[in-house]
Amino acid sequence: MNAYVNPTRIISIRASSLGDLFDCPARWEAKNLLNKRNPDGARTRLGTAIHEAVTQWDHLNLIGEEVSLEECEEILHHQIWQPNEEVDWSDLNQNDAESIGQSLMHKYITHIVPTQKFIGVEVRCESLILADLGIELTGTIDRIYENEDGELGISDIKTGKAAVGSDGVVKTVGHAPQMGIYTVLAAHALQEPVTAPARIYGLTTGKTDKGQHVGIGEIESPAEVLLGTEEDPGLLHHAAKIIKHGTFYGNSKSMLCNEKFCPAYATCKFRK
């Protein structure tokens, strides 16, 4: 009998991992239940560095304290050159990573921040247990914003080679499960409706200024996709089935089916 097939056991799901579960359950199991790890890739570390730097800017502005670009640049530099974990720099060296990170940090602060009204930055939410599904939702919400109509919504920073197209369109496909969990957690934490569209702040990590695009994309009603209805169960119901029954099948066609990204790659029977 699979160790995870236990009707009384509650399995914790981080919001940031839900997309991984649907993309390749075998990879999700290796990382989230078996605690297997790969070294961070260079672009993952770059994304973390940018995230930490702009969070400093947004947080201090939110609480009314002064913040300088130099302070944020120093945080980015530290994250690139003194990471607290192993990083594989084979496809992007640290000098280039820092240059890209500084450019995108400035673009985020200049082009995105002035258009947003943040009411929460890096909001750590209490876990939410859905006993009927046997799962516990956890996560830290990047940003909670208020739109021009006074509605609250959640937003998340996404970096990557294809985060934003050259036409300025932000890639939102595949992010609905994570945004849905953040929306549910935000409503639980704030004890009020979170009804505005979820926003993705996309930052494309091109090596030159011409290839570095930033933009904002929106996902309407991500919580509905997550929760569903009695007639049409949502994504959480499907996630619960995979976990409860321990059906962690692999997906050899996943874009992340690679030894750099999957700690189960070497022993995975699904890619043979």
Report the pLDDT value the prediction gives residue 232, as an integer from 0 to 100. 87
Enumerate the domain spans of the chain. 8-33+119-260, 38-115
Report the pLDDT value the prediction gives residue 197, as an integer from 0 to 100. 97
Report the pLDDT value the prediction gives residue 270, as an integer from 0 to 100. 94
Report the pLDDT value the prediction gives residue 6, as an integer from 0 to 100. 56
Report the pLDDT value the prediction gives residue 1, as an integer from 0 to 100. 41
CATH number of 8-33+119-260: 3.90.320
Closest CA to 165 of 108, 203, 218: 203
Q: Note if the pTM is more than 0.85.
A: yes
Could you count the other beta carbons within 10 Å of the beta carbon of residue 23? 17
Residue at token pair 């890619």: 271
CA–CA distance, 33 with 12 (Å, rounded to integer): 9
In tens, the pLDDT along 53-91 reads 999 999 999 999 999 999 999 999 999 999 989 999 998
Vertex 172 angle, CA 167 and 178, to 5°: 160
What is the phi/psi pair of residue 259, to 5°? -60, -20
Q: Name residues of the chain where pLDDT drops below 70.
A: 1-8
